[in-house]
Amino acid sequence: MNLRSPWLVVLAVASIAMASMADTTNSASKPDVVVIIIDDMGWADPGFMPGGAHETPHMDALAARGKVFTQACSDGPNCAPSRATLMTGQWSPRHGITTVGTPTRGKAENRKLKPPPNGKYLTDDAVTLAERMKEAGYRTVHVGKWHLGDDPLDQGFDHNIGGNRAGHPKSYFSPYRNADLPDGPEGESLTDRLTDETLALVESDQDQPLFLYFSPYAVHSPFQATPEEVAALQAATPGLNKRAASYAAMMQRTDRNIGRLMERMDDDTIIIFCSDNGGSGGVSSNGDLRGAKGMLYEGGIRVPLVITMPGIESGTCEVPVTLMDVVPTILELADIDHPSNELDGHSLVPLLENNGTFKKRSLFWHFPAYLEAGGKAGPWRTTPVGVVREGDWKLLEFFEDGRVELYDLRTDPGETKNVAADHPETRNRLLKQMQQWRKDVQAPMPVSIAGSPTNSP
């Protein structure tokens, strides 16, 4: 710009100042937004869920004043793909993260297929929820587990407390051995420390609306608690082993810290609470659901999801949704525009309203990787598989041999009876639907060890 007149300079400066003031005013009127994502918490772990396994009064209080989505699912059976989808609002083939780390886990001699490469971390091209919130004038704060790259500051966050590429802590008690979190006094709790620093930070500057992504590493392994916590829980529940007692103590400590966080939030704060995938097998509770973390059965992907905000009618919602819907939901609630072609999720705002209408859709999962099993469970938790859900129908297609399983989740939520042979029209329709979706999103497929493609498009 060539400003020859001093009056033009004055007018230009005034115009910029007024625009800046308008942006500040607009952003200042926006609600604070808090996303709380608990790591590896089972669908039936919190007390407010059906068959809740643990006493979680603060989680329960949050659920009591919000909408509980009982059919919510993560978008992957393990951490990284699910978290990447929550951050981008995109199907996993679009952001490129389909599993954690290498897709060739387990013994090579047991694999029949060669998986496609996996994007371990978000690329610079990925547009995250934090970047969208920051552009809209929000102060963006990341706490705890990131797992999507080296530094959340590179993906739209203004502040980072303890987050990096690590998928779990080395210790839940100081010394933490975390390059992004200085050690505290010996024996200090990591979950307590993360909450302490969060509260100090969010209260230090309240000139901007807050976007807080609170992701304590809990309740992911290692399962650790104080001797006093373990002893108290074992005394209350005779026969409870140390591992289970430690997990229960971690749930209790996480719940207490959520209570501390909620006490300091304004009443008009939008809060989204969830787990990142199904609970870990053998220690968490997924209720009567089949499977656990690392599987595409419901126990591996069904998660607690609660949304609370001013004016919401509390209760439950049984519409199938996924964590991919979090981004468009937050953007609509915060009145932030975005290009419609950049997001695959649907805003859940109609489901939060009394008379809202929500467009029916099918949901898809794409997992072209291997996950090894532990113990005596056989070689695999999961082999390469695709999944589609349409209403109560759920179909799984296993890529190694083309095996298809079909379940009616309304009558068989535990996925105990494969009815593919009884419903050939439904089977074929869902298969074609999923194959077309894979073409649409350019989902990478595994190939046979000899190099030929699998039978599935």
Rounded Cα distance, 26 and 67, in Å: 28
pLDDT tens track for 215-263: 999 999 999 999 999 999 999 999 999 999 999 999 999 999 999 999 9
In sequence order, what are the beta bridge partners of 114?
Answer: 447
* pTM score of the predicted model: 0.92
What pLDDT is attached to residue 395?
99
Is 238 exposed, middle or buried, given 0-12, 13-18 or 19+ CB atoms closer than 10 A?
Answer: exposed
Residues belonging to the chain: 457
**Which is more confident, 152 or 452?**
152
Which of 250, 275, 261, 276 lies closest to 172 in space, CA to CA? 250
| Residues above pLDDT 70, as percent of the chain | 91
- Domains in the chain and their CATH numbers? 32-106+120-361 (3.40.720.10)
Which helix (H) or strand (E) segment holds residue 26: the answer is: helix 6-28
Q: What phi and psi values does residue 146 have, to the nearest 5 degrees? A: -110, -70
Alpha helices in 170-297 (DSSP H): 190-202, 227-236, 242-263
Mean pLDDT of the chain: 93
pLDDT tens track for 131-182: 999 999 999 999 999 999 999 999 999 999 999 999 999 999 999 999 999 9
pLDDT tens track for 28-76: 689 999 999 999 999 999 999 999 999 999 999 999 999 999 999 999 9
Confidence grade of residue 25 (pLDDT, cut at 50, 70, 90): very low
pLDDT tens track for 195-215: 999 999 998 877 899 999 999
Confidence grade of residue 375 (pLDDT, cut at 50, 70, 90): low
Alpha helices in 33-104 (DSSP H): 57-64, 79-88, 92-95
Which of 370, 406, 411, 415 lies closest to 388 in space, CA to CA? 406
pLDDT of 436 over the 60 cut: yes
